[in-house]
Each structure stands twice: as structure tokens, then as C-alpha cells.
Amino acid sequence: MRTQVGIIGAGPAGLLLAHLLHLRGIESVVLETRSREDVEGTIRAGVLEQGTVDLLTDTGVGARLHREGHQHNGIELRFDGRGHRIDFAELTGRAVTVYPQHEVLKDLIARRLADGGEIRFGATVTAVEGITTETPVIRFTDADGTSGLLRCELILGGDGSRTVTRALIPEATVRTDHFRQYPFAWFGILAEAPPSSDELIYANHANGFALISTRTPTVQRHYLQVDPSDTVEDWSDDRIWHELHTRVDGEGAEIKDGTIFAKTVLGFRSFVCEPMQYGRLFLAGDAAHTVPPTGAKGLNLAVADVYVLAQAMERYFRTGATDGLDAYTATALPRVWRAQHFSWWMTSMLHRMPDATGFDHKRQLAELDTVTRSAAGRALLAENYVGAPLY
């Protein structure tokens, strides 16, 4: 089998790149270890930056997102029992849209298949060879156990945070991994319940962080900061609702209880791989970098990466010029580090560190007070939350 771009991973990076390349007349094949049902059913975050929405809309995959997604013109930061609104519309003229990642993936898969694109679900990559030559090869095993071989000119490593492609960049001599672990996790629930708030609430509380989000008028998504060793069994429904009320209820806010139907514990880390390319291999999305979930930057960064890559690949296939490809890391990385900083900043301002003293908590409250009191502080937060335009 032969194609122009071999894409490893049918996540946001891989599927969107395949779509953007198709619009530029470039062929690709996507290889994905998991089944289509698994990819389309895995619950992830749900906040799309304005630039992500614009790109999906302008490339013809935004119809359902506009029908079923919900535009949010602000968020609330809650601390000391009171809410403080960050008005995105007023501060930036931009907004975010709450539309779950797996719905974006469903839309991209449907469009790719309608366009005659090839996505091989259940195909496990067993080897990638020749990435420093002009004729790289991807070996894989199909869902039925048969071995396959994909010859291509360029390769995308879009295989998520448990990536195997990242290891193809030689460690120490070429690759530097920047890594930070956090001493807590998020406990995420989906509940059949009415919305507790019109906008997302990010709450700082002495017991730890809580986030009130939403999916539909009848399904809500909430998160609690928990110990990283906690499991789903440690948190009964009663304990979850009690803790959400404790951390969020107060002036102008009261959590509405409901029936919990999904519970997950999410790990927390910051990671950046530099460079994001080696020879004919280009990493994008979580394979190249992971952000803590506070601020929901993960999918949006994957989108920004492949927007850069699609242009560079188009230039290469049209003219043979490699300057755009060679500049991929330098072009994509500043946005990655700005998102790392923003996610870390939101995390550090809102979460309780296990060794935090009374001083640390008071200092956090003062930081939140400083940010929300100042128009410049609110604008800084808003600009980063809605994200810089892609184009």
C-alpha cells in the first residue's frame, strides 16, 4: 500500500490532518489501534476555542457543532464563596463552544469516509522504518491479524499521550522531554441533571478544586480535585454530591443533583517533547505534548499543530520545498508553551497542593482577587482561554 502521508492515530490530530490534506488534494491513510466504537465513545473534554470552531466551520465539518454545541461567552471563577465572571465577549470579542471531543471525532470520521478517505480501525503499528530517508515505511497488523505495509513520504505521529512514535526521535542526542507531574487528579462525572449554571464554574475551595461544566440541557459534566491514588470505588454518589455542594455552593450558585452514570479518574501532567519532528516524522497533539486539563487546551493544541503541518505539507507536495516542514517545531512550539503556561497557571491558582499551608491558600485567594479585580487581569485570562486566532 502506498500513500503520500501515513497518519498514525485517529484522534483529533490525525483525523483533522487527513481532512485538511484532502482539501488540498493530498492523500493519506490513517492507522488506528482502537475500534471505531471506542474512538467515538471515549469521553474527553468539551471546550473548543474560537479558532478551532472557525477552522472546523470553514472546512465544512462544523454543521452539527453549530446545531448541538453551545457557545459560552464567559466563565465564572469562584473563590471565598463568591463568583467572579470573566466576560469573554466584552474582553476579547470572542467565545468558546462546549461540544465534546468525541463528537468532533464522529464528525471528522463521517466526513473522511464520505470523502472516500481510508481509516483503518484496529490496525496496530508494529514498526516504522526509514524516517530519515525519503521512503519511510509503516508496518502494521490489521484487525484480522494480517500484516500490512504502508509506504509514504511523510508520517504523522498522532497516537496520543501513550505514543509509540515519539520514541522514534532519538533520546538525549535529538530529543528533550520536559515533564511535570502534579500531586492530584480529577474525578470526572457525567450526570443526568439540569444545568447548575449557564456558564462553566471554576471553583477554588480549601477542600480542593471543583469544575462545573455541561454537555446538554439534561446531561452535566463535573470534576473534583482528588488524590491521585483515589479510585472510582472511593467515591460514592453521595460523597460526590456532598463534595460538589461544599466546594461550589454559595452566593449565586447551587449545584443541582442528579443521577450519575459515568465516573472516571483523570491523570494530571504537563509534558513537552522537543523537537516535534525528526526526519520524515512529525508529532502532533498529545504525542508531542500533554497539558493538565484545567482550561481544556488539549484538543485545541492538536488542531493548531495540524493546521501548521497541513500548510507545510501542502507546500512540500506542490513545490518540493522543505522549509515549511523544517520550521514545524519552531512554528508550533511557542503556542504549545503558552498553553502549557496557561494550563499550569489555572491549575496552580485553583488547586490545593497537598502540602499547602494557610499562607499558600491566602496567597492563592489574593492572586484570584488580583486577576478578577483588574480589567487587564481578566483580559489576560480571557485571551488565553478563548485562544489566539489560527489565521
Residues noted as catalytic:
72, 202, 293, 297, 385
Q: What is the DSSP letter of 255?
A: P
Stretches 230-238, 250-258, 290-298, 369-377: which one binds ligand DHB (CB under 6 A)?
Answer: 290-298
Interface residue with ligand DHB, options 97, 213, 300, 384 (CB under 6 A): 213
Q: Does 296 bind ligand DHB (CB under 6 A)?
A: yes
Min dist CB 295 to ligand DHB, Å, is 5
Cα dihedral 138, 142, 147, 149 sign: negative
Question: In this structure, what C-alpha cell is assigned to residue 175?
Answer: 530529543
Considering just the CA atoms, what is the radius of gyration of the chain in Å? 21
By CB under 6 A, what part of segment 192-211 binds ligand DHB?
Answer: 200, 211
Q: What is the rounded CA–CA span in Å between residue 65 and residue 200?
A: 18
Sheet holding 137-141, edge to edge: 124-129, 137-141, 147-151
Q: 271, 355 in Cβ contact below 8 A?
A: no
Stretches 62-70, 136-144, 273-281, 291-299: which one binds ligand DHB (CB under 6 A)?
Answer: 291-299
Min dist CB 188 to ligand DHB, Å, is 7
Min dist CB 246 to ligand DHB, Å, is 20
Q: Which is closer to ligand DHB, CB of 43 or CB of 353?
A: 43
Q: What is the rounded CA–CA span in Å between residue 155 and residue 287?
A: 13
The 10 Å Cβ neighbour count of residue 323 is 10
Q: Which is closer to ligand DHB, CB of 8 or CB of 53?
A: 53
Q: Does 295 bind ligand DHB (CB under 6 A)?
A: yes
Residue type, 115: D
Beta bridge partners of 87: 74
Q: What is the rounded CA–CA span in Å between residue 79 and residue 110?
A: 42
The angle at the Cα of 225, spanning 219 to 231, to the nearest 5 degrees, equals 85
Beta bridge partners of 14: none
Min dist CB 278 to ligand DHB, Å, is 30
Q: Which is closer to ligand DHB, CB of 47 or CB of 164?
A: 47
By CB under 6 A, what part of segment 128-187 binds ligand DHB?
Answer: none
Q: Which is closer to ligand DHB, CB of 125 or CB of 199?
A: 199
Residues in the interface with ligand DHB (CB under 6 A) total 11
What DSSP string describes 289-358?
Answer: EE--STT--HHHHHHHHHHHHHHHHHHHHHH---HHHHTHHHHHHHHHHHHHHHHHHHHHHHSPPTT--H
Min dist CB 97 to ligand DHB, Å, is 11
Report how many helices (DSSP H) and strands (DSSP E) the chain contains, helices first. Answer: 12, 22
Q: Does 221 bind ligand DHB (CB under 6 A)?
A: yes
Min dist CB 96 to ligand DHB, Å, is 9
What 3-state class would DSSP assign to 63?
A: helix
Q: 94, 88 in Cβ contact below 8 A?
A: yes
Stretches 127-135, 251-259, 289-297, 375-383: which one binds ligand DHB (CB under 6 A)?
Answer: 289-297
Q: Which is closer to ligand DHB, CB of 29 or CB of 45?
A: 45
Q: Does 350 bind ligand DHB (CB under 6 A)?
A: no
Min dist CB 360 to ligand DHB, Å, is 22
Query: Pattern of binders to ligand DHB over 38-77, x per CB under 6 A?
Result: -------xxx------------------------------
Q: Which residues bind ligand DHB (CB under 6 A)?
A: 45-47, 200, 211, 213, 221, 293-296
